[in-house]
Chains A and B, each alone.
Chain A
Amino acid sequence: MKLHNFKFHGNGLERFFGPLEARIMTALWEAEGELTIKEVQQALNKDKAMSFNTVMTVMNRLVDKGILSKKANSKSHLYRPVLTRDEFLEAQSKELAFELVQEFGSRAVAHMVDALEQVDPDLLDQLERQLKQHKKER
């Protein structure tokens, strides 16, 4: 799940979402379960009246982005966030840091660790075993 419009000048969720998207995500995360569009609209209406169609459009856009999942119910659809709020923020932060590392000129930077996909897992295991052995011996 990669958001392309990260805004450094925003606050909280608005760094990742538009204002209405952020309110919808907050409503869904606070509900800690699945909600219909109607239920989300009712939650948003407590602050400011929103039309059903606007909420539906934005929620379906969030489904397209992979941020919400949508499940058919008898009369309507149920929506829920794919990740918890904490998982989402952590994932986005990692994504940001990854891009920070990968995209800065890419050739003009000395990384502490780079080309992670090239790491030999056997060497990592050996290093871990050796470090554990050193700790035991101390």
Chain B
Amino acid sequence: MWEARSRWLLATSLSVSAFVAAQMAMFALKVVFGIKLPFVLFDYCVAWFRYIGVPISLPLMSAVFVSTLVFCARQIVREAVCARRFGRMLRRTADNRLSRRYARRFGFDRRQLTIIRAVAPVAMTVGFFRPRIVLSAGLLRMLEPAELAAVVAHERHHLRRRDPLALFALSLSRTALWYVPLLGWAEDKYRTAVEVLADRHAIAASGGGAEALGGALLKLLRQGRAKGMPTASASFADASINVRLRLLLDPRYSPSWRPPLDATLLSIAVLALLAALS
């Protein structure tokens, strides 16, 4: 279920984004360069709004178009800057000896695993095209061997699926197409789904089972929760980490996949306005 739904979420979100992007490109070609294309929904959209008397004009549609480009460019630049800064930080903090040792132990290519010198426990998979797993020396000290194997198996799953790239694509869609709120819901659900899938892979592949993964999660969460953090409230019941904990406690747990009504209606309205005009 999780695998199929995650694929569906990714495919649908990216299709919607590609569709809107293509329409915008055609709209720009016509408005800016005067090139007339046969099928420009944005163009029809403006005309239709005018027809029904809604005060939406070409400048407003252009503003939406420009905002999409600006948000998109801003996020890409931000990610590029962060990736560069992160690369520098990795080079400075990487423990090459430990990285080589653990890469050999877990069967990774040397470039796929980096151990950083940090007391705090860190475990993540980063990188768009050539993802790598980053673990901290603090994590290695904190976890039992079986727990570490579970964490590595979890991250290996992210690495193989290139999850960071997919997460970035969904995040970019959400930010740029801010007027389709369902994309935000889809991104959140996808994040949960990829974490649950990685957990399942870790349980099956690491040899330590759910106990090892649960132990690792418990230590990471207990260690990471700083004093003074607000306690969780019901509004976080669907947060990725809570869904994962519930699934560890009860593998039959099935969270709701129903999208929020207001976001759904608004997204449908936006897309229907476009689609109905074709």
Contact = CB atoms under 8 A, between A and B. Distances in A.
Interface of A: 8-9, 89-90, 93-94, 96-98, 100-101, 103-121, 123-124, 126-128, 130-131, 134
Which size class do B's interface residues fall under?
A: 35 or more
A118 B211 CA distance: 22
Given A105-B82, A108-B164, A109-B167, A120 B123 contact: no
Contacts of B126: 104-105, 108-110
Interface of B: 75, 78-79, 82-83, 85-86, 88-89, 92-93, 116, 118-126, 128, 136, 138, 151, 154-155, 158, 163-165, 167-168, 171, 194-195, 198, 211, 214-218, 220-222, 224-226, 229-232, 236-237, 239-242, 245-246, 248-249
Nearest to A130: B249
Contact of A110 (B85, B89, B198): B198
Contacts of A107: 75, 79, 167-168, 171
A113 B147 CA distance: 14
Contacts of B138: 93, 97
Contacts of B224: 113, 116
Given A109-B167, A118-B239, 9 more contacts: A8-B92, A96-B118, A97-B119, A110-B124, A110-B164, A111-B124, A112-B155, A116-B225, A127-B218
A110 to B, nearest CB: 4
Contact of A123 (B124, B195, B246): B246
Given A109-B126, A113-B221, A115-B239, A120 B120 contact: no
7 contacts: A100-B86, A105-B86, A107-B79, A110-B164, A111-B123, A112-B217, A123-B246
Contacts of B163: 110
A94 B120 contact: yes
Main secondary structure of the interface of A (DSSP, over half): helix
Contacts of B85: 103-104
A9 B83 contact: no
A32 B186 CA distance: 55
Given A112-B220, A128-B218, A97 B230 contact: no
B79 A108 contact: yes
Contacts of B236: 115, 118-120
Nearest to A92: B119
Given A105-B78, A108-B168, A118 B118 contact: no
A106 to B, nearest CB: 7
A10 B89 CA distance: 13
A94 B82 CA distance: 19
A93 B118 CA distance: 6
B274 to A, nearest CB: 26
A123 B245 contact: yes
Nearest to A112: B123
Contact of B83 (A104, A119, A120, A123): A104
A120 B237 contact: yes
Contacts of B165: 108
Given A97-B119, A109-B126, A119-B221, A134 B164 contact: no
Contacts of B164: 108-110
